[in-house]
Structure formats: structure tokens, C-alpha cells
Amino acid sequence: MKAIFIAYNQAYNEEIVEVLEANGQRGYTAWQDIQGRGSTDGIPHLGSHAWPEMNYAILSMVDDDKVDGILADLREKDETYRDLGLRAYVWNIERAL
């Protein structure tokens, strides 16, 4: 089992959830109104007057065989929508209750 953490521009929430659903992934935990700034060329998402946009994030525990499909679909979204600001990270889950 793997954990996938996905951070992205709030405007694309529906598209990100659709990626999970299209890959047969039902469960996730979501956070809204998260501040952040890209490490390379992303604009700040700070919820301020100067930088009004915000980010959302999703954490999903995924069976190993679903990871590659989800990441491929996320990569395609990120390449299609330059302002998506998507980042996705995967790590091992050693135990679950």
C-alpha cells in the first residue's frame, strides 16, 4: 500500500478527484485553503490581497497497482493546465488499522 499526497490549485479540485475516481480510488482525505508557493516558477497561493488564490491537498491510501495510473493521469493534467501547480508525492505505508 502507498500514500499519495497531492497539492494543487483549488480551482482544479473536481479534476483531481475525477482522476482518483477514474483509477478506481474511492477513499481520500482533503484539506482546503492551504497556503503555499512553488519552488521553481509557481506563483504564491496565499489567500491575500496580492495573491488571492489558495491550494487544496488530498491524501489517499492506494493499492500499489493503482499508483502508476494515478500519477500518469495527474502528470497529464499538470501538463495540460500550467496554472494547476500540481505536486504529487508517494511513500510506503507499512501498517494500517
- CB-based contact 4:60 (threshold 8 Å): yes
Give the pLDDT of residue 91: 96
Give the pLDDT of residue 37: 79
Q: Is the pLDDT of residue 41 over 80?
A: no
Residue 97 lies in a domain: no
Q: Is the pLDDT of residue 42 over 80?
A: no
Domain count along the chain: 1
Q: Look up the domain containing 62 and give its range.
A: 2-92
Find the mean pLDDT for residues 57-73: 97
* 13-21 CB contacts, 8 Å cutoff, 24+ apart: 13/56, 15/77, 15/81, 16/56, 16/58, 16/74, 16/77, 16/86, 17/58, 19/70, 19/73, 19/74, 19/77, 20/58, 20/60, 20/70
CATH number at residue 72: 3.30.70.120
Residue 74: how many other CB atoms lie within 10 Å: 22
Render pLDDT for 4-32 as a digit per residue (tens, 0 to 9). Answer: 999 999 999 999 999 999 999 999 999 99
